[in-house]
Amino acid sequence: MPRFTVHVRNEWLTVPCKDATCSIKWLGFEALKRYIKNKPDNGGIQHIKDVHFGVKRCQGFGLLDNDDTIEDVLEDNDFVELAIEGDTMSQDFIPSQLGTSHLTRAYREPEQYISLDGNSLTSTDLVNLGKGLFKIKLTPEAEQKVVQSRELLDTIVKENKVVYGITTGFGKFAQTVIPVSKLKELQENLLRSHSSGLGSPLSPERTRMLLALRINVLAKGHSGISLETLHSMIQAFNASCLSYVPEKGTVGASGDLAPLSHLALGLMGEGKMWSPKSGWADAKYVLEAHGLKPISLKPKEGLALINGTQMITSLGAEAVERAEAIAQQADIIAALTLEVLKGTTKAFDSDIHELRPHPGQKEVALRFRSLLDSDHHPSEIAESHRFCDRVQDAYTMRCCPQVHGIVNDTIEFVKKIINTEINSATDNPMVFAERGETISGGNFHGEYPAKALDYLAIGVHELASISERRIERLCNPSLSELPAFLVNEGGLNSGFMIAHCTAAALVSENKVLCHPSSIDSLSTSAATEDHVSMGGWAARKALRVVEHVEQVLAIELLAACQGIEFLRPLRTTTPLEKVYDLVRATVKPWIKDRFMAPDIEAVHRLLVDQKVWNIAGPYIEKYCMEYIPESRPSSPTAFALDPPPSPRKRVRLE
Q: Which residues pair with 438 in a beta bridge?
A: 431
Answer yes or no: are the C-beta atoms of 502 and 554 closer than 8 Å.
no
DSSP string, 559-595: HHHHHHHTTTT----HHHHHHHHHHHTTS---SS---
Q: Is there a cis peptide before residue 254, judged by omega within 30 degrees of 0?
A: yes
Give Cα 220 distance to the centre of its chain.
24
**What are the C-alpha distances in Å from 634 to residues 124, 523, 575, 640, 646?**
17, 48, 21, 9, 11
Give every CB contact of residue 544 below 8 A, 6+ residues apart in sequence. 513
Residues near 73 by Cβ (< 8 Å), separated by ≥ 6?
24, 64, 65
- Whether the link from the prior residue into 110 is cis, omega within 30° of 0, is no
By the 8 A CB rule, do 311 and 539 touch?
A: yes
Residue 627 designated active-site: no
DSSP code string of 168-180: B-SGGGTT-B--G
E-assigned strand segments in 360-468:
430-432, 437-439
Alpha carbons 241 and 273: distance in angstroms, whole number: 7
3-state secondary structure of 54: strand
Helices 310-340 and 535-565, packing angle to 10 deg: 20
Contacts of 486 (CB under 8 A, 6+ apart): 474, 475, 495, 496, 559, 562, 563, 566, 590
Give the Cα separation of 480 and 337 in Å (integer): 10
Q: In what order do the strands lie in the sheet with 279-282?
A: 242-243, 272-275, 279-282
- From the list 383, 379, 346, the residue with the least C-alpha distance to 365 is 346
What is the C-alpha to C-alpha distance for residues 522 and 340, in angstroms, rounded to an integer? 51
C-beta atoms surrounding 501 within 10 Å: 11
CB within 8 Å of 641: residues ≥ 6 apart: 359, 360, 362, 363, 366, 631
Spatial neighbors of 140 by CB under 8 A, at least 6 apart, are: none
d(CA 244, CA 267): 10
For 304-320, give the secondary structure using H, E and C. HHHCCCHHHHHHHHHHH
What is the Cα Rg of the chain in Å? 28
How many whole angstroms separate alpha carbon 181 and alpha carbon 402? 64
Please write down the HEC assignment for all residues of 500-523: HHHHHHHHHHHHHHCCCCCCCCCC
Q: Which of 107, 113, 164, 285 is catalytic?
A: 164
Q: Are 600 and 550 in contact (CB under 8 A)?
A: no
The helix/strand count (H/E) of the chain reads as 23, 15
Catalytically active residues are: 164
